[in-house]
Amino acid sequence: MSKVFVTDHPLIQHKLSYIRDKNTGTKDFRDLVEEVAMLMAYEITRDLSLSEQTIETPVCEATVKKIAGKKLGIIPILRAGLGMVDGVLRLIPAAKVGHIGLYRDPETLEPVEYYCKLPTDVEERELIVIDPMLATGGSAVAAIQFLKDRGAQNIKLMCLIAAPEGIEKVQKHHDDVDIYVAAVDEKLNKKGYIVPGLGDAGDRLFGTK
Ligand code: URA
């Protein structure tokens, strides 16, 4: 069974409170989502391996630790996932970024891929799929499956807010994918919104309706 990590650092929880508030405008919302994504990236990279190197400080030779050349990839699910990319890149600037766009077929209600551009060596990378809202879990499950179909073997999922239904669905279909969230909310409402949630993350990020 995959693990769920709730990154409940006080700074993250403080910023998330403003993100949830309907009176927070587009610019502040966007900035805060980016900041929380950066703070969450700190947690999600906690298990990166280090290798030792010898350098010279101004005082003497020293053995220091550096990230062991791990290849990372960030995969935002369009469009709301874009709002978290720059925050993650601030901490791991060398990461490659792939994009997956999905829409829901009105007849089958299944997610259909309309855009997919990934780093070529996706099978060698540690991938972080990002989407602010894990609601029904349909998009996340489909995006992770698209990555696995292309050879990806090492995938984590990072979201701001999850509904229990979404977590359950991801765990059911991808029990090798750990999930990182800033909060697990109460439920989904009839329209598929997370309650209490933050509304439509894409609309709030981009100022659309
Ligand atoms: N997508 C959103 O943007 N918000 C929700 O509450 C659920 C899905």
Q: Domain limits of the chain?
A: 4-206
Q: Supply the DSSP symbol for 158.
A: E
> If 0-12 CB within 10 Å is exposed, 13-18 middle and 19+ buried, where does residue 5 land?
middle
Q: How far is the CA of 113 from the centre of ligand 1 (A)?
A: 19
pLDDT tens per residue across span 177-204: 999 999 999 999 999 999 999 999 999 9
Active site residues: 104, 108, 200, 203
Is 201 assigned a ligand-binding role in the annotation? yes
Q: How far is the CA of 131 from the centre of ligand 1 (A)?
A: 10
Atom number, ligand 1, closest to the C-alpha of residue 201 = 3
| 169 φ, ψ (degrees, to nearest 5) | -65, -45
Round to whole Å and give the CA distance between 182 and 96.
23
pLDDT tens per residue across span 119-136: 999 999 999 999 999 999
Q: Which residues have CB under 8 Å from 53's CB, separation 6+?
A: 63, 64, 65, 66
pLDDT at 187: 97
Q: How far is the CA of 104 from the centre of ligand 1 (A)?
A: 14
pLDDT tens per residue across span 49-93: 899 999 999 999 999 999 887 799 999 999 999 999 999 999 999
**Could you tell me if the ipTM is greater than 0.90?**
yes
Round to whole Å and give the CA distance between 38 and 44.
10
pLDDT confidence bin for 209, thresholds 50/70/90 = confident
The pTM is what? 0.94
CATH of domain 4-206: 3.40.50.2020
> If 0-12 CB within 10 Å is exposed, 13-18 middle and 19+ buried, where does residue 143 land?
buried
pLDDT greater than 80 at residue 14? yes
pLDDT at 69: 73
pLDDT tens per residue across span 125-170: 999 999 999 999 999 999 999 999 999 999 999 999 999 999 999 9
Q: Write the residue with the smallest CA distance to atom 5 of ligand 1.
A: 193
Residue with tokens 């003497």: 60
Q: Which residues have CB under 8 Å from 67's CB, separation 6+?
A: 48, 49, 50, 51
Pocket of ligand 1 (CB under 6 A): 80, 133, 135, 192-194, 197, 200-202
